[in-house]
Structure 1
Amino acid sequence: MANGFGAEVTMAKLQLICDDILNLQGDGLVCPAHKHLIRGRGLSAQIYDRAGKALVSECLQQPECAVGEARLTGAPGLAVSYLLHTVTPQWSSGDQWGAEAVAQLRCCYRSVLALARAHGMRRLLFPALGAGTNRFPHQIAAHQGLEVLREAQDDFETLTVCLHSPAALAEWRQVDARFFGRR
């Protein structure tokens, strides 16, 4: 689209896919993290297994990471240049702490995006933050994640949310269509 000055303005492509996130290419891959940046469960374990001792060594040099914050490391053995580690909140079944967990999940996305901007990243890969071992329902995780990603999409070339199953992809697409008008 032209901006009136003869230059092209490109909008980020926010895409939802189902694939193996570890085989995708980009500038940065978001890794759900433990506060001490040690090997966790789920996707975190897969990333650490693939990246090996070089990642462990680099993570030992990082300060503790609180829920909602993000840290940057290299990504040895992966198809991306960087890992953006973020500590996601634990879903507590929507009890009295549910609103706090939702706000913290949004902070995870915002912290990752700020770190990516600061390091000139243009293509980011996101898992369904919080919806894995931390048990956020996909509908809630999708709404929070998509809202924050849509706010930031003009700053990036591509923002890819890679889901681990066709069912999860369907839920994210349903939320996207219902709340953001994308089909």
Structure 2
Amino acid sequence: MPAKLSAIRADIATLSLDAIVNAANSALAGGGGVDGAIHRAAGPELAQACRQLGGCPTGEARLTEGYNLRARYIIHTVGPVWKGGNCGEPQLLAACYRNALSLAAAHDVRRLAFPSIGTGVYGYPLDLAAKTAVNTVRETLRDFDGIEEVIFCCFSAGDLQVYQRLLG
């Protein structure tokens, strides 16, 4: 049975799932936006675990426990900084989703949520990022039949509309 794909508007740090995905920075140091919210909610153990991982290159993903979150795991991935779209950004963003799903499958994650990776301070245009996200997740899930549900967790009503239209 194919995985269920949906979009919701919520605080990703509050979701009760097997895993949530963190739009992290390459140092995995916690920052603003989604990353900061997840670090604050997970507690100081997350920062310690992230330091031990030694960072994460753009497009790759790393996994930690969820600590004080309702999610069992946090999958950290680093989106590309938008530089106009001709510097490999689409390929790097797609790699974020593929690598996060691969890690999820390797850890028996059945239900997970993604934020809109790269669309905050990294400046990736929402319409382009959402299209890459939805298309990449749909394609990648063909390889991972253990994943039952993927939620695109949106920060704003406008973001939610974009994802809902693409999931139509």
TM-score of the pair, normalised by structure 2: 0.93
Deviation at 1:93, TM superposition (A): 3.2
Q: 2:26 aligns with which of 35, 54, 72?
A: 35
2:36 is paired with a residue whose SS is helix
Residues 35-44 or 149-158, more deviating: 149-158
User: Any conservation in 2 of the 1:13–1:153 contact (CA below 8 Å)?
Assistant: no
User: Any conservation in 2 of the 1:23–1:78 contact (CA below 8 Å)?
Assistant: yes
Deviation at 1:173, TM superposition (A): 2.3
1:168 is paired with a residue whose SS is helix
Paired position in structure 2 for 1:169: 160
Does 1:125 find its partner at 2:113? yes
Deviation at 1:61, TM superposition (A): 1.1
Amino acid at match of 1:126: F
Task: String of CA shifts for 1:49-86, please: whole Å, max 9, x gaps.
Answer: 11121111111111321000000101111110000000
Deviation at 1:115, TM superposition (A): 0.6
2:40 is paired with a residue whose SS is helix
> 2:115, 2:96 → 1: CA distance?
12
Paired position in structure 2 for 1:139: 127
Paired position in structure 2 for 1:179: none
User: Any conservation in 1 of the 2:152–2:163 contact (CA below 8 Å)?
Assistant: no
TM-score of the pair, normalised by structure 1: 0.85
Q: 1:75 aligns with which of 57, 66, 78?
A: 66
Amino acid at match of 2:133: G
Amino acid at match of 2:148: E
Residues 78-87 or 46-55, more deviating: 46-55
State the number of aligned residues.
165
User: Kindly, what percent of the aligned residue pairs are identical?
Assistant: 36
Matches within 5 A, 1:8-27: 10-27=1-18
Q: Which has the larger Rg?
A: 1
Deviation at 1:102, TM superposition (A): 0.9
User: Any conservation in 2 of the 1:16–1:173 contact (CA below 8 Å)?
Assistant: yes
Deviation at 1:133, TM superposition (A): 1.8
1:61 is paired with a residue whose SS is helix
Instruction: Provide runs of 4+ in structure 1 moved above 4 Å.
Output: none
Which consecutive unaligned segments of at least 5 residues does structure 1 have?
1-9, 177-181
Q: 1:109 aligns with which of 89, 97, 115?
A: 97
Matches within 5 A, 1:146-161: 146-154=134-142, 155=145, 156-161=147-152
Q: 1:87 aligns with which of 68, 78, 91?
A: 78
User: Any conservation in 2 of the 1:153–1:159 contact (CA below 8 Å)?
Assistant: no
